[in-house]
Amino acid sequence: MKTASRRDFLKVAGLGLASLAAPRVFAAGARKPNVIVILADDLGFADVGFNGCKDIATPNIDALAKNGVRCTSGYVSHPFCSPTRAGLMTGRYQQRFGHENNPTWLPEDTKVGLPLSETFLAKQLGAAGYATGAIGKWHLGAAPCFHPNERGFAEYFGFRGGGHMYLPDEKNPLPQEKTWQVEYRIPLNRNKESVTHTGYMTDILSDEAVAFIGRHKAGPFFLYLAYNAVHTPLQAPEKYLARFPNISDEKRRTYAAMNSAMDDGIGRVTEALRKHGLEQDTLIFFLSDNGGPITVVPCSNTPLRGGKGQVLEGGIRVPFVACWPGTLPAGAVYNEPVIALDLLPTALALAGAQPPEKPLDGVNLVPHLTGANKAAPHERLFWRTGGGSGWAVREGRYKLLKSTGEQQSHLYDLAADIGEEHDLAAEKPDVVKRLTAAFEAWNAQLVPPIFESPRPGPKKQQQQQQQKKKAKAK
C-alpha cells in the first residue's frame, strides 16, 4: 500500500481548525506525526542563545528556534516544578484538581500526587496508536499508583522524585537545603525495576531518548524527555566544565556546563531524527518548567523581573520553541501569549486522538503558529500559587498581579514594560477592575490545594524571605 503523503496528512488532520470537538479521521496509511516534548528544569530565560545568552553556547537548542517558531510570550501554568508538569500532562489548569504544590516523597501516600481522576496525554495518545515513553524527572507522586507506567507511558526511565544527583559518586554531597529530600539518592527506574546510577545523569537521559527513537522509528511515537538539568545540585564532569574556562564564577561555570550537557543531548536527539529520516514527521516542543531561580544559582532571566516561585514574568515566562520542519515556518517569531497547557490539545489534534471528557484550558497551537488562524490563542491566561496568596492574569498587553505577601495588586503593560517596573494600577483603574473580576471568576472554578509542598530547609527559607523583600522593594 502506498503511504499517504505528508500533504495528504495535513489536509486530513485539519490543521487549520483549532477545535477538538471531535477526533480527526485519517486517510488509510497516513503517518501521524511524532511528538517530542523536551522539558528543561529551572532554566533561566536568558540562558539560551536565542534569548541573548553570550557566555553559554547552546547551538542545538538554538537550532530548534532557527528551524521552528520561537514563542516570545511562552508561559508555564505555575512558577515551580510539579504543578507545571501536572498542567502540561493534562492540558488543564492544575488548580482545577488541587495540584498546586510540590508533592513530598511519600511512597505510601496515595493522595500526594496528580489525582487519578485526571487523564494524561500519554494515555490518550497511546489509545490513538502511539508508542509512549517518558524519560527523566517525574515529580507527580511517589506512590505506585502515580508511576508513569500507570499514567499511560508504556516505557519509563528516570527518577520519580523532584530531583536527583547527577554524579553517582557519594563524595558529592547535596547542598544543605536539599538534605531533607531523600529522593535525590533513590535508584533510577526502568519501568518498575530499580536501576543502578552510573555515568552523568544528563548523558544517561540523552542516551535513553536516542534509543527510544531508534526503537520506535516506524512511528508514531510520543516522547516526554524531562531533563533535571539545570536544577540543583550543581554538578558537572570535567569534560563539560572545560568548555568554560573564561567563566570565573564557579557556580556559573558549573551551571553553564550542565546547560551545555543538556544542549549536547538535544543535539543527539535531533541527529537521531535526521538519521532515521524523521525530521519532517516530528513536532518538537522545547521549554523550561519555570523561570530561573535567581536567588539560588547564578542564572539569568534578563530582561524579566523575578524568578522561580513568583508570578512575576521571571517566574512563569520561559524559553519556548515549537519546531516542525516543513510545517511550521522556520525562524519565525510568535509574540502572542501561549502556555504549556496548549501542548496536550495540539498533540491530540495531530494524533486524531479522542479528546478528554473534562474541558481543556489549552488550544491547538498549530493553526496559530502557521498563520492559518490570525486570532490570539487565548483571551486571557491565569496563574495562582499558594492557594491564592499570589496570582496573576494576562489579557493582551496587560498583566495584573498580586505577589505573595502583598495586599495590593499591580498592573503592567508588558508590551512597553517587559521588566514590570512601572505600575499602572492607579492610572488605569478600569483595567484593574476588569482583570480583577476576570481572575475572581476563574478562581471561583478552582479547588484548594490537596497537599502541601515539602518544608524547605533553613537556608532555603532565608533565601525565600530575601526574595520576597527584594520583590517588595521594587
Which are the catalytic amino acids? 81, 139
Three cell numbers at 150? 500507570
Residue with the three cell numbers 497537599: 451
Distance CA 42, CA 420 (A): 21
How many other C-beta atoms can be found within 10 angstroms of the C-beta atom of residue 416?
9
Work out the angle at residue 215's Cα, subtended by the Cα atoms of residues 214 and 220, and round it to the nearest 5 degrees. 95
Distance CA 464, CA 458 (A): 10
CA count, 13 A, side-chain hemisphere, 143 = 12
How many other C-beta atoms can be found within 10 angstroms of the C-beta atom of residue 377?
21
Peptide bond into 233 cis (omega under 30): yes
- For residues 384 and 350, the answer to whether their CB atoms sit within 8 Å is no
- For residues 129 and 159, the answer to whether their CB atoms sit within 8 Å is no
Write b or e for each residue in 334-370: b if 16 or more Cβ atoms lie within 10 A of its Cβ, otherwise e: bebbbbbbbbbbbbbbbbbbebbeeebbbbbbbbbbb
